[in-house]
Amino acid sequence: MKAFITKAAAAAIVVFARAVTAVRAIWPEEGLPTRPCVYFANHSSHGDFVLVWTVLPPRLRRQARPVAGAEYWLKSRLNRFIGRDVFNAVLIARERDQRTEDPVTQMAAAIDAGSSLILFPEGTRNQSDAPLLPFKSGIFHLAAARPDIELVPVWINNLNRVMPKGEIVPIPLICTVTFGSALRLAQDEAKDTFLERMQTALLALSPKPAGSGE
């Protein structure tokens, strides 16, 4: 019964996301990796992982788990239902002193179990005018712990205009989700070089702004 409810809820969320954003995916020429991988995306809205999840082909979608902040997604019953039951999120504690488990260990364990991850390396929603916040080091430590894992940059465009912070009614606007070519940690690559390379790869996918909104 519960499985049925979560499936129905997931389907409803996908239909709603498509109705509001008419979201379109742009794929890299060689296609997406078929093995478990890490999709890392820019983060400006709570709906970000829903959009990535929505456009993934069903076979890849089933193995994809978003990585999300535990304090937000465990806050209320509805949040818990959506975050944990519907999307099967890997919930990590963002505050160091609240951690009972190491986030990198949690993510690596999910990958070892055959899942892909949807990760937002900025660590928090970007409310600034800059297109991207500096990445946190988690993605580096994950890549160092699982050096074979492929990392796919994903640019989510326009969703911040659909639902700016603090608004409750979404504005229907067309969103695109652009997937780049898969990357890997190079041998002996230093943390800063790696993070810089990942940020550049992600930014390279961002289109020129259409409406020049906020």
Partner 1 sequence: MSAASSDLLTLVAGIFGVLILASAIGYVLQQRLSPNGSNAAIENLNARIKAWWIMVILIGIAFVAGRIGVLVLFGFCSFAALREFVTLINTRRADHWALAAAFFVVVPVQYYLLWAEQYGIFSIFIPVYAFLLMPIISVLRGDTERFLIRIAEVQWALMICVFCASHVPALLTLNIPGYDGRNVLLIAFLVIVVQLSDVLQYVWGKLFGRTKIAPKLSPSKTVEGFVGGVISATLIGAALWWITPFTPVQAGLLAFIITLMGFFGGLVMSAIKRDRGIKDWGNLIEGHGGLIDRLDSVVFSAPIFFHIVRYWWSL
Instruction: Identify the DSSP state of 97.
Output: G
Nearest approach in angstroms of CB 167 to partner 1 is 5
Contact 159, 21 (CB under 8 A): yes
173/182 with CB nearer partner 1: 173
Contact 103, 93 (CB under 8 A): yes
Nearest approach in angstroms of CB 199 to partner 1 is 25
130/169 with CB nearer partner 1: 169
22/190 with CB nearer partner 1: 22
Contact 66, 73 (CB under 8 A): no
- DSSP H or E segment with residue 138: helix 138-145
Cα–Cα distance measured from residue 180 to residue 193, given in angstroms and rounded to the nearest whole number: 19
127/193 with CB nearer partner 1: 127
15/210 with CB nearer partner 1: 210
Q: How is residue 87 written in tokens?
A: 């999307």
Q: Which residues of 157-196 are buried (b: 16+ CB within 10 A; e: fewer)?
A: bbbbbbbeeeeeebeebebbbbbbebbebeeebeeeebbe
Nearest approach in angstroms of CB 162 to partner 1 is 10
Nearest approach in angstroms of CB 125 to partner 1 is 14
Nearest approach in angstroms of CB 208 to partner 1 is 7
18/61 with CB nearer partner 1: 18
Nearest partner of 106 among 69, 80, 76, judged by Cα: 69
Nearest approach in angstroms of CB 157 to partner 1 is 10
Torsions phi, psi of 152, nearest 5?
-110, 115
Contact residues toward partner 1 (CB under 8 A) are 22, 24, 158, 161, 164, 167, 169, 171-174, 208, 210-214
